[in-house]
Amino acid sequence: MQYRQIFPAIQKTLQELLHKYPTIGSIVADIVKDGGSALLVGGAVRDLLLAKPVKDSDIEVHGVPLERLDVIMQKYGSVSLVGKSFGVLRLHGLDVDWALPRVDAAGRKPTVVLDPYMSIAVACKRRDLTINAMAIDLTTFVLYDPYNGQRDLHDGILRPTDMQLFLEDPLRFFRVMQFIGRFAMVPSAELNQLCRTMDISGVSVERIEQEFSKMLLKSVYPAAGIRWIEHIGRLNDVLPELAATRAIPQNPAWHPEGDVFEHTMQAVDAAAIIAQSYESEYNKLLLLYAALCHDLGKVTTTHVIDGTIKSELHPQAGAVIARQMLKRITHTHDLIHTVYLLVQYHMEPGQFVRGGAKVPAYKLLARKLAPYTTLSMLADLALADVRGRNPKGSEPLMLESEDVRAFRTCAQRARVLECVEQSVLQGRDLLDLVPPGPRLGQLVRRAYEIQIEEGITNVDELKRRVLAE
């Protein structure tokens, strides 16, 4: 087996980690006293070797039975068992999983066999990819690398640790997708072969969402993961609405980059770059999902009219398709509805500027997006759309857009770039004259239109006007 002392820099990081969480060091020392050993395993080892921050640690304890590990850990606080069959223990207040080596067997009744005396190589074999199948002994700082994960990490290759065992968990298909984006790595030929045919029908929406979120939030070029699914011929199984964009041509005068799929992928990567300045992860996801969905409507609306490729009303059609597609990835209603709105109005920034829209139009558009999103995010989506048009490569263009800039300036002047103008006349102002019900709602909406279009902000005047109509 490949094992060697780890680099001094990594050793230092690990020592700092143990220093920061002295309880970990104490438990490890007790395990060693009992004749066992404690190994850092999985993604934490990968992230350490990549010099990335380690967020959650998995420690595998060898040579000590579960009951004994439980006794050792109880010296330091209250211990909970995270699923007895999985043999994972947690100490209250410490974000570390302490697990025993195990062998998983999939099937109709999945079984887990714990064996504290299993060899490290056998214990690592159940892990999905070689880059995730390494271990570092927390006492000796020796790196165990039975499947050459370090070499694959260096070469940027995702390789299954074991072809047969890889197939036992279909979530791994989506993990590969996110690792491709996140680490800009390339799957090996045998991994592609496995993923071309593996059954992924049983993966829940919640777990798919987790992997999509990681891919979208942590990648420089997140579209790489989706391009891979398309490349191995599985996009129709995962996102059929997006797969349908592959064959849809675009007018080369506007879109020299190629078909709608290529444009979408470039727009997603452009959105990721734009969203780097966002503080909120949720807003990042909104922009990225909106970029992913923005042109889905071209599938049903693209026609050649008088020799020209046109996709009239594709934003409206696309909003409905986006809603349908996003349900395959998330159950979050607000996210789906926000993307629906962004897709529906994604052409407005350009049209507003070219058509010379006035202040009321900006205010009304901001109102249509509120409270879910803002004109600012719509402008960012329009920018991603403009940047996703590189005919010479697959990375997005890094240009600015005069139209988008002008749209932002006008929205800012109208004071609705990041917010919405509040209604002056509220329902309660009319309650003495109109009972609660649909008519009250209509009157309030009409008062808002008058407020915006004519700039009237006096409650009594608005009241008079709507009641007189």
> What is the contact surface with ligand CTP in residues (CB under 6 A)?
42-43, 58, 127-128, 132, 169, 171-172, 175, 214
Between CA 460 and CA 35 the distance in angstroms is: 84
Q: Which residues contact 40 (CB under 8 A, 6 or more apart)?
A: 14, 48, 57, 58, 59, 135, 136, 138
Nearer to ligand CTP, 175 or 408 (CB): 175
Cβ nearer to ligand CTP, comparing 172 with 465:
172
Residue nearer to ligand CTP on the CB measure, 56 or 454? 56
Q: Is 463 exposed, middle or buried (0-12, 13-18, 19+ CB in 10 A)?
A: middle
Nearest residue relative to ligand CTP (C-beta): 43
Q: How far apart are alpha carbons 358 and 65 in whole angstroms? A: 73
Is 329:208 a contact under the CB 8 Å cutoff? yes
The answer to whether 134 and 124 are in contact (CB under 8 A) is yes
What is the sign, positive or negative, of the torsion defined by CA atoms of 84, 87, 92, 97? Answer: negative
- The two structure tokens encoding residue 399: 């240009």
The dihedral region occupied by 278, where left means phi > 0, alpha psi between -120 and 50, and beta the remainder, is beta
Q: Considering the complex, what minimum distance in angstroms separates the CB of residue 179 from ligand CTP?
A: 8
Of the pair 43, 249, the CB lying nearest ligand CTP is at: 43
CB of 165 to ligand CTP, least distance (A): 9
d(CA 149, CA 170): 21
Min CB(149)–ligand CTP separation in Å: 10
In whole angstroms, the minimum distance from the beta carbon of 160 to ligand CTP comes to: 10
Smallest separation, CB 379 to ligand CTP (Å): 32
Shorter beta-carbon distance to ligand CTP: residue 118 or 366? 118
Supply the minimum distance, in Å, between the C-beta of residue 231 and ligand CTP.
Answer: 22
Q: Which is nearer to ligand CTP, 52 or 368 (CB)?
A: 52
In the complex, what is the shortest distance from the CB of residue 43 to ligand CTP, in angstroms, rounded to a whole number? 2
Instruction: CB nearer to ligand CTP: give 198 or 370.
Output: 198
Q: What is the DSSP string of 259-311?
A: SHHHHHHHHHHHHHHHGGG-S-HHHHHHHHHHHHHTTTTHHHHEEEETTEEEE
